Structure 1
Amino acid sequence: MGTEENAVSTGAPDAGPYAELLEIALDAARRAGALLRDGRPADLGVAATKSSPIDVVTEMDIAAEKLITTCIERARPHDGVLGEEGASTAGTSGVRWIVDPLDGTVNYLYGLPSWSVSIAAEKDGEVVVGVVEAPMRGETYQAVLGGGAYVGGVRARCRPAPDMAQALVATGFGYLTERRAAQAQVAARLLPRVRDIRRAGSAAIDLADVGCGRLDAYYERGLNPWDLAAGDLFAREAGARTGGRPGERASGELTVAAPSGLFEPLQTLLDELGAWHD
């Protein structure tokens, strides 16, 4: 299963002109991952809520984002930053960092292992570097535009497309009651058409798992740029296709990832099922 079966080479992405950006992303993600793994208080509680009472922020989200933005600012003070927990700097260099310091906060709060740190670097509006750090798995997923996707020094490849009836599909649910109800209806109508559905709680890890061949596909409505930027690049560099509604890019409206051959019918079906609206 997964990376080893789908490996074609070992090493790291061919970073080319983006080597510095990849190095910074790897360093910041590993530092933040270690902070979150080793510094989690036994009495960790909710520091704030966002869109709803179940959309939570912990003190560790805030600390991890501060660590990451400090690493970036020291190395490249003229870059822009967009962070989930409020970091926002326009920058003047043409490079913008898209940061989710803790993707899967509810999992982290409950002590579940499926959480990650997601850092992407965008050059002139296009994501060129993506790193997803999953400390409880002991894995770092890294990708460079045109340079491939790697995990643990092994080239990642998505699975060959199965028939939809044999596809293992992951998804996620939003925090607003109306959206969750609509998403549940879509999942209920999709479930009889596929092998099974998984809901792990970290979009970045789900996208990485498509790239590693641990999932056949993933879809979700309501993602933010920091949820999908790094994982989307990883999945694409591992050979998967990603997008939103037919003819559109992955976005908050809808994100779909799957190998070609499964991507097209799944995207069409999700569009018909209304997965792009509440």
Structure 2
Amino acid sequence: MSETLQTAAVTDSDAELLAQTEIAVRTAGSALRERFGEVVGYETREELMRALAANDDTALDVLRPSLTQLRPNAGWVEDELDGGALPPGEWWVVDPAEGNVNHLHALPEWAVTATLVRDNQSVLTVVHLPLTGETYTALTGAGAHLDGRPLRVSQTANLDLSIVATSQARPDEDEEVVRRVGASITAMLFDALVVRTSVPATLHLVNVAAGRTDVFWQFAGARADLLPGALLVTEAGGRISDAEGRPWSPQSNSFLAAAPGVHAEAVSTLSR
């Protein structure tokens, strides 16, 4: 078994399915972009949740019917914060507004993502950044691309020359995870060149796939914020594992994506 989810056997129709998925994701991104611009105020957690849900619903109104039409028998992951293995069969794992809180704060770091999982193996993914117009795609065995151009991870071979990044998996992490995150950032501050910390995870992972940054790690996490980037990084030649270097799956309690030349060093730093 590889260091990420084993990839599914890809059918001849999956390439066309990827193209149609890209259209749906880009259309949803356009709808979400129309809502972007002003900071959305809120004074309570309830008001925040309503604002987040309004963004999600705007994108889902496009994504759900479009993707259901493409794969009528595929299941649908309702909660983008869910984790763990899925039941057998095909499932759409969608984050309608990845980085939703950034969108509400008029920050540019957000995206729309859709990943098709077949028997717990990623088949294809689309990550669209509506503000830049960039679309990242990956199809198992066919590589990762940015607007049709092939992606490759960096050739960096030294962690002390690397830009590394981490993210917050959930709004309310438990104390153990928070302490782990803090300790890992401290360790990387000693060993890496530059440490970046921000949400969402997917935008860090597209940077690893594109060779702009060298390492991304996260403790805990959901399927929707890791599966798209995991497939992109794998298809771009990167290595995926948990933070201790063991094979990663959505049941794992940590995640690491890295250029091959610095993967072992990153594991060493995160395992201290």
Q: Same fold (TM over 0.5)?
A: yes
Q: How far, CA to CA, are the matches of 1:94 and 1:246 in structure 2?
A: 28
Task: Specify the SS of the correspondent of 1:131.
Answer: strand
The alpha carbon displacement at 1:69 in A equals 1.1
Alignment of 1:112-191 (within 5 A): 112-174=107-169, 175-176=171-172, 178=175, 179-191=177-189
Residue of structure 2 in register with 1:5 after alignment: none
Residue of structure 2 in register with 1:195 after alignment: 193
- Deviating more after overlay: 20-29 vs 254-263: 20-29
- Deviating more after overlay: 147-156 vs 181-190: 181-190
The alpha carbon displacement at 1:113 in A equals 0.5
Say if 2:246 is the partner of 1:247: yes
Residue of structure 2 in register with 1:209 after alignment: 207
Q: How far, CA to CA, are the matches of 1:221 and 1:86 in structure 2?
A: 14
Which residue identity is paired with 2:262?
A: L
The Cα offsets for residues 85-140 of structure 1, whole Å up to 9 and x where unpaired, read as: 599xxx99932111011111121111111111111011222101011111122200
Note if contact 1:240-1:260 (Cα within 8 Å) is conserved in structure 2. Answer: yes
Task: Choose which of 191, 216, 222 in structure 1 pairs with 2:220.
Answer: 222
Task: Choose which of 89, 101, 109 in structure 1 pairs with 2:104.
Answer: 109
Note if contact 2:221-2:254 (Cα within 8 Å) is conserved in structure 1. Answer: yes
| Aligned residues: CA RMSD | 2.9
Q: How far, CA to CA, are the matches of 1:220 and 1:57 in structure 2?
A: 23
Note if contact 1:48-1:57 (Cα within 8 Å) is conserved in structure 2. Answer: no
- Deviating more after overlay: 189-198 vs 177-186: 177-186
Note if contact 1:171-1:198 (Cα within 8 Å) is conserved in structure 2. Answer: yes
Note if contact 1:210-1:257 (Cα within 8 Å) is conserved in structure 2. Answer: yes
Task: Specify the SS of the correspondent of 2:72.
Answer: coil
Residue of structure 2 in register with 1:74 after alignment: 69
The alpha carbon displacement at 1:170 in A equals 0.9
Residue of structure 2 in register with 1:33 after alignment: 29
Q: How far, CA to CA, are the matches of 2:94 and 2:44 in structure 1?
A: 19
Task: Specify the SS of the correspondent of 2:77.
Answer: strand
- Deviating more after overlay: 68-77 vs 116-125: 68-77
The Cα offsets for residues 151-203 of structure 1, whole Å up to 9 and x where unpaired, read as: 02211111103301111001112433623343123211221110011123121
Task: Specify the SS of the correspondent of 1:214.
Answer: coil
Compute the TM-score of the two structures, normalised by the length of structure 1. 0.82
Say if 2:14 is the partner of 1:18: yes
Note if contact 2:163-2:214 (Cα within 8 Å) is conserved in structure 1. Answer: yes
Residue of structure 2 in register with 1:258 after alignment: 258
Q: How far, CA to CA, are the matches of 2:80 and 2:216 in structure 1?
A: 25
The Cα offsets for residues 23-70 of structure 1, whole Å up to 9 and x where unpaired, read as: 2320221011111112337463569959xx89x834112221232111
- Deviating more after overlay: 227-236 vs 78-87: 78-87
Structure 1: any 5+ residue segments left out of the alignment? 1-13, 273-278
Note if contact 2:152-2:211 (Cα within 8 Å) is conserved in structure 1. Answer: yes
Q: How far, CA to CA, are the matches of 2:12 and 2:203 in structure 1?
A: 25
Provide closer, same or farther for how the CA distance between residues 86 and 150 of structure 1 changes in structure 2, counting only shifts above 3 A.
Answer: closer
Compute the TM-score of the two structures, normalised by the length of structure 2. 0.83
Q: How far, CA to CA, are the matches of 1:265 and 1:164 in structure 2?
A: 6
- Deviating more after overlay: 38-47 vs 219-228: 38-47
The alpha carbon displacement at 1:15 in A equals 8.0
Task: Specify the SS of the correspondent of 1:59.
Answer: helix
Note if contact 1:162-1:262 (Cα within 8 Å) is conserved in structure 2. Answer: yes
The Cα offsets for residues 192-240 of structure 1, whole Å up to 9 and x where unpaired, read as: 1100111231211111110101111111112200111111101110111
Task: Specify the SS of the correspondent of 1:261.
Answer: helix
